[in-house]
Structure 1
Amino acid sequence: MPPLAVPPSPAGDPADDPDDPRHPAAAAARADGLTPLDRVVTGCRACPRLVAWREETARTKRRAYQDWDYWARPVPGFGPPDAPLVLVGLAPAAHGANRTGRIFTGDPSGDLLYAALYDLGLANRPESVRHGDGLELFGVRITDPVRCAPPDNKPSTAERDTCRPWITRELELMRPTVRTVVALGGFAWQAMLPVIADAGWLVSRPRPAFGHAALARFPAHDGGPELRMYGCYHVSPRNTNTGRLTPTMLHDLLREAARSAGLAPR
């Protein structure tokens, strides 16, 4: 089952114009809560290359998933709207979230991530197979700076920037509760720095550099609570199969980030 029932998108793609009501900059700004934001993002068609790729992947499918009706839309964030901890990835996997409609669901990266969250008491089950499988997160929301599956898992700079209003608005709406971000990989770290600045926190110059277990602190423009961001190697098979990121490294980093956010992990 898809995560949201969404009517078909209007014919044609939005012009490269932030004032176009279908453009992410305009559509995200109209969302007055995370539920409306999650709903409207799934109809985005702002990046023609990504639209073509996600839909072609759904037509050709992978042999193991021939009986699946692929989601093949942008993928919204997942987790409670008042979460103090936010995990940020890269983009949906072509045969993972692009198939299932839920972030980090149905691929090896998600298998490792959700198992770690379960071990820490931040999820109610250790695996994520499909939307509707009963998975719940506790105090954690997971999202991506790019919402469509890109070819070779490599969105362009222009695609990343076009997609930015979605995650910026997400972080703005979470400002009352969010305290800590974990950037899963260097792409997420770099993508989040302008997002954090646009959402109301001060980003220092020179900008903080990514590294596993790196920690950056961002004071709020309005004197409110600061935001902290941890770097973590991405939970990709390339990193985990080579030992660059081990389960112990992931557990330790997520435990520290959760405590930083005011949660009480196991």
Structure 2
Amino acid sequence: MDLPELDRRIADCRACPRLVDWREEVARTKRAAFADWTYWGRPVPGFGPADASLLIVGLAPAAHGGNRTGRMFTGDRSGDVLYEAMHDVGLASQPTSVSARDGLELYGVRVTSPVHCAPPANKPTPEERDTCRPWLVEELTLLRPTLRAVVVLGAYGWQAALPAFTAAGWTVPRPRPVFTHGAHVRLDPSSGRPALDLFGCFHVSQRNTFTGKLTPTMLRDVLRTAAGAAGLSVRS
């Protein structure tokens, strides 16, 4: 399997009945502001090149963001914050991400999440998280030849992703590293592959950005540091 095939298989997944019912109900009822949209209403696959050296891991698609547009962090305020920062440091071709056909390109970076369906109240259950994990494991495995660094957004994504790193061939320290903003953990490979630099960053949620828990400077600093570890050139 390659990444395009993986993305197609993710988009066809119906493994979690609660999430299937929710995402499809949202796609039918819509939000008034998007009444003229045909919602995606399916699992949202990762976005970015197949030879990415940096991976950004979020939480799950937003009901009226990725679940509407079919692309990670696209069409919602969290995505506005993330892609503007990525553009500012030179990792994205434009500062906005409004639809899957807006021409946005990512440079050496892929964006994904541990849960691919929009969950009610933005809270997937532990069972749904675990059911979705094999998709992340497969994505990490396919990216492994080029992947050098990962930024995980938020404590939930951090805890969900750590077992996936182990399953994909990296050694996670024991005890497991605790999530903090700015955390940096080196994951050694269990085979002859290169090591992986793992970074923690507060999630780009409205709660964090509106309250100042995560500022634009804080986000850009993490992105620059992680891009440097991945061997990518960035703007200062």
Counterpart AA for 1:203: V
Q: Return the index of the structure with the highest Cα Rg.
A: 1
Matched, 1:251 2:200: no
Q: Secondary structure at the match of 1:228?
A: strand
Matched with 1:83 is 52
Instruction: Find the aligned partners of 2:98 and 2:110 in 1 and give their Cα distance.
Output: 17
Matched, 1:47 2:1: no
Instruction: Find the aligned partners of 1:179 and 1:241 in 2 and give their Cα distance.
Output: 31
1:1-266 to structure 2, matched below 5 A, reads: 32-266=1-235
How many Å apart are 1:257 and its aligned residue? 0.5
Deviations 1:121-158 (A, max 9, x none): 11111000001100000000000100000000000000
Aligned residues: 235
Counterpart AA for 2:113: D
- Confirm or deny: 8 A CA contact 2:63 2:119 kept in the other structure: yes
Instruction: Find the aligned partners of 1:240 and 1:189 in 2 and give their Cα distance.
Output: 19
Identify unmatched segments of 5+ residues in structure 2. none
Instruction: Find the aligned partners of 1:159 and 1:251 in 2 and give their Cα distance.
Output: 31
Q: Secondary structure at the match of 2:200?
A: strand
How many Å apart are 1:224 and its aligned residue? 2.2
Instruction: Find the aligned partners of 1:143 and 1:224 in 2 and give their Cα distance.
Output: 22
How many Å apart are 1:169 and its aligned residue? 0.0
How many Å apart are 1:222 and its aligned residue? 1.0
How many Å apart are 1:200 and its aligned residue? 0.3
Instruction: Find the aligned partners of 2:112 and 2:23 in 1 and give their Cα distance.
Output: 18
Q: Secondary structure at the match of 1:204?
A: coil
Instruction: Find the aligned partners of 1:232 and 1:117 in 2 and give their Cα distance.
Output: 14
Instruction: Find the aligned partners of 2:222 and 2:91 in 1 and give their Cα distance.
Output: 14
Deviations 1:34-86 (A, max 9, x none): 01000111010000000000001111111100000000000000000100000
Runs of 4+ in 1 over 3 A off after TM superposition: none
Percent identity for Structure 1 against Structure 2:
64
How many Å apart are 1:204 and its aligned residue? 1.3
Q: Which structure carries more relative contact order (alpha carbon 8 Å, separation 6+)?
A: 2
Counterpart AA for 2:214: L
Counterpart AA for 2:34: Y
Q: Secondary structure at the match of 1:94?
A: coil
How many Å apart are 1:203 and its aligned residue? 1.0
Counterpart AA for 2:129: R
Counterpart AA for 2:61: P
- Confirm or deny: 8 A CA contact 2:145 2:193 kept in the other structure: no
